[in-house]
Structures are given as C-alpha cells and as structure tokens.
Homo-oligomer: A and B are copies of this chain.
Amino acid sequence: MIQTVKADGRAEYEFFERMRSRSRETKNNVAEAVEKIIEAVRVRGDEAVREYTMKFDRRCPETFEVGREIINDALTAADPDFVSALLNAQENIAAFHQRQKTQSFLDPRKNGIILGQRVRGLHRVGLYVPGGTAAYPSSVLMNAIPAKIAGVGELVMVTPPGPDGRPNPDILVAAAICGVDRVFLMGGAQAVAALAHGTESVPRCDKIVGPGNIFVATAKRLLYGTVDIDMIAGPSEILIIADDSANPKYLAADLMGQAEHDRMASAVLLTTSGRLVEQTKAELARQIGRLERREIIEASLADFGAIVLCESETQMVALANELAPEHLEVQVADPMRLLGALDNAGSVFLGEYTPEPLGDYYAGPNHVLPTGGTARFFSPLGVDSFVKRSAFLYYPREAMAEAAPDILTIAAREGLSAHANAVKVRLEDE
C-alpha cells in the first residue's frame, strides 16, 4: 500500500514533484462563487449572511452571536479530563509562545534624535473554526493563545452550526479556556466575508486566521489585502528521517498518524536501513487494523506516501531540506546533532519519544505550520503573526540641519526636487 523508492538522484525527486503537485489547485468556479458571496456580504451584511447560511447549512440561528452563558455551560458540562487536558496544553502552549514576544524599542541618538519601533497587538482578529469532523479544539488553542499573548484587542470566533443547529461544545470549551471574546455561529465564505467587512452583528477584523474548506480558503485568499490572513495551508505532511537505531513500530504509527488527516496528506520515511524498509511495511500492515480512519490512511499512503531508501545520513538531510516538510521527525541516534543541518522545516521532532501528536496538541510550539515546501521561506504561526510594527522618528532642528547635505545629495541623484525642497524650506528660516 505504500511505495518504496530507492534514492538515486532521480526517483525521489519524481516522487517529491508529485507530492508538491498536491497543492496546486485551480478552481476558478469556486473563486467566482466566493467572490459573489463576499460582495453580497459587503453590501448587505447580516441579511446576506443569513441567506447563504440557509442555503448551505439548511438552518440559521435567530441571532448569530453565541451568548456567554452558552459558552460557560459548555465548559461546566464538559468531561473534566478533557478540560484538564486542554488546560495543561494551554499552559505549555502559552509558556512557549511567551518566549516569542518582541518588545517595542526606543533608540535615542546623539543630537537629541529619537528613533523607535512600536510593536502592538492587532486591534481585532477573527478566528475561523470549521464544524463537522474537522472541528478541532486544538486548533482553537493554537490560534487563540498566540493572539492573546500578542495583545490582540478582541478575538472573535466564527464557527458553523452543527446538524442540530448548535455550536460544537468542544469548540466552545476551547474558546472559553483561551479567552476568546465573542463567538458567532456562522461558517463558510459568508462568515469570512463578515469578519473582513463587518456586518450589523459581526465587528470588522484586521486579520483572519484558522483552517477551513476550499470555500473558506478561497475567501481568505480573495480578501487578503482587505485584511491580513494567516496562510493558505495546503494538505498536511510528515517527513521522517530514521537510521538503523529507529523502531519500525513507531515509524509506521507516525506515518499513519499523519495519513489519517485526509486523502491528500503525505507521509514519507527516509532511511538508510534496508531492514527498516521491510519492517516498517510489516508494521503498517499490522497496525492499520486497529485504526478507525483506515480508508483515508490507505488512500493517502498509496498516493502520497513513500519509504525512500537512502545511501547516507547526508543524503537524508539534503532531501529533507529540499522537501522542506511541515513536520520533520528525526529518529536517529543522538538526534540533536542534526538540528543545525536541517534548514527547512516547520517543526522538528527530535528523538523516538517525540511523536508528532505531542506537537499537535501539547508540547508548546504551534501546529499551524507552512506546508508544501514553503518552510523554505514561511514560518509557523506565532505571536509575530498577531502584531503590527510601526516606526517613529524625531529630529531636532540642529540634527536635521546636520543631515541635510546628505539628504539633498541623495534627493538630487534620485531627481526628486520636492523631496529636497522639504528640507530646504526648513533651512531657510533663521
């Protein structure tokens, strides 16, 4: 069910190319439909949201906002083990993201010059949380916690009504724990449009984050520039580097843990051990019997899974850097030693007791990561994602006069005489 590739400088790249092609979607008809929805919500506000909610979700709540008491009830009614697990996760995630905070700075110079940079949380952020089987409380934590630490003024969540017309209670529990300020029961492109443009009930946001289906992702893409967005995440993926010391049981389990996300997910093992190739395949066959999402796992592994037999650790590292995976597991002896060489990865899981779900749910680093090779240049979601920087400068007259000759020289070379004039008029007086 999973293919085996022998790295020969060609076969592995052909496979990589196929993996990358996963994310190249060209659905123009979706874009057209979504554009229409966005325009309707921009012009007609709640009325349009209501129409599309009836159309797509079959029912529409009387008021979109979910009352505070409903959120509190979800929290008190929840399984205490679940609440406790989320609280522990929150503590770890918050501790890690606290380290990411950057401070404003003031930089006084000679001559009374003052320069500086302000770093502030965005005024208002919208968080999209899918419904149905993709309603993941862990996603709420991973998006909401860094936003709160960044100092976002108001965090607004939208989530579609479930089959019973109500919000998913697990999502409300996570929202309550993270201090989400307001929750609205709406989903799809119409909810994204409401966050971007504001309606009678939904306040306009400055940034929209969170995962969603093709309509949600398209709406975010089209509204980029009207608001900021997090990223357009492609299908999820894992790359595992393993030497002869690795445990095939763990390798198989980790490949399947990634593959269960969806049919487009990709799970790849690079190993220098011929023994592991065979043993991992045997473990895949053995363990799959106990897994609920067997069909998805088999489809994903068949299409986008591979075990690649490599010649050396150096080759494994080079291939990992080339692929730039979202998740990278390093199951080799003394894994920390490779950290400096692994240039491109969203999150790196070191050692055989650090399986990917630790990072997905719990350890602290974010699980919203760059996919499809974009870890070459994109970064995980973090506190930075929820701040805006702006610079400020103050020059006293004497300092300006001292800088003037240089500025006039550059302005002259650039042919901008009105730039020069703005300095000259200030030198004329006195």
Which residues of B have CB within 8 Å of A346?
Answer: 390-391
Give a binary string over A397-430; 1 marks a CB under 8 Å from any B CB, 0 the rest: 1011001011101110111111111111110110
Q: How far is the CA of A84 from the CA of B361 in the complex (A)?
A: 55
Shortest Cβ gap from A167 to chain B (Å): 15
Which residues of B have CB within 8 Å of A377?
Answer: 122, 206-207, 227-228, 388
Count copies of this chain in the complex: 2
Q: Decide: A254 and B422 in contact? CB cutoff 8 A.
A: yes
Q: How far is the CA of A359 from the CA of B115 in the complex (A)?
A: 10
Q: Decide: A394 and B138 in contact? CB cutoff 8 A.
A: no
- Is A291 an interface residue, CB under 8 A from the partner? yes
Q: How far is the CA of A30 from the CA of B227 in the complex (A)?
A: 24
Which residues of B have CB within 8 Å of A387?
Answer: 379
- Is A287 an interface residue, CB under 8 A from the partner? yes
Which segment, of A8-16, A85-93, A156-164, faces chain B? Answer: A85-93
Q: Decide: A391 and B366 in contact? CB cutoff 8 A.
A: yes
Which segment, of A43-51, A57-65, A185-193, A350-358, faces chain B? Answer: A350-358
Which segment, of A68-76, A256-264, A269-277, A311-319, faces chain B? Answer: A256-264
Q: Decide: A407 and B376 in contact? CB cutoff 8 A.
A: no
Which residues of B have CB within 8 Å of A420?
Answer: 357
Q: How far is the CA of A102 from the CA of B423 in the complex (A)?
A: 34
Which residues of B have CB within 8 Å of A86?
Answer: 410
With A260-B417, A414-B137: A375-B388 Cβ-Cβ less than 8 Å: yes
- Is A42 an interface residue, CB under 8 A from the partner? no
Which residues of B have CB within 8 Å of A394?
Answer: 335-336, 350-351, 354
Shortest Cβ gap from A359 to chain B (Å): 6
- Is A364 an interface residue, CB under 8 A from the partner? yes
Q: Decide: B96 and A410 in contact? CB cutoff 8 A.
A: no
Q: Decide: B348 and A392 in contact? CB cutoff 8 A.
A: yes
Q: Decide: B122 and A403 in contact? CB cutoff 8 A.
A: no
27 contacts between A and B (CB under 8 A): A81-B409, A85-B405, A85-B407, A99-B105, A123-B343, A137-B413, A138-B414, A206-B377, A207-B377, A225-B374, A249-B428, A249-B429, A253-B418, A256-B421, A259-B418, A287-B425, A292-B417, A344-B388, A351-B395, A353-B397, A356-B422, A357-B411, A357-B423, A358-B400, A379-B389, A379-B390, A382-B389
Given contacts A96-B115, A120-B343, 13 further A-B contacts (CB under 8 A): A96-B107, A206-B377, A207-B377, A249-B429, A254-B422, A257-B422, A348-B392, A355-B400, A356-B419, A357-B422, A358-B423, A365-B392, A376-B388
Which A-B residue pairs are the 7 nearest by beta carbons? A365-B391, A85-B406, A228-B377, A260-B418, A379-B389, A348-B392, A350-B394
A residues in contact (CB < 8 Å) with B: 81-82, 84-86, 88-89, 95-96, 99-100, 102, 105, 107, 113-115, 117-118, 120, 122-123, 133, 136-138, 170, 206-207, 225, 227-228, 232, 247, 249-250, 253-254, 256-257, 259-261, 287, 290-293, 297, 335-336, 339, 343-366, 374-380, 382, 384, 387-397, 399-400, 403, 405-407, 409-411, 413-426, 428-429
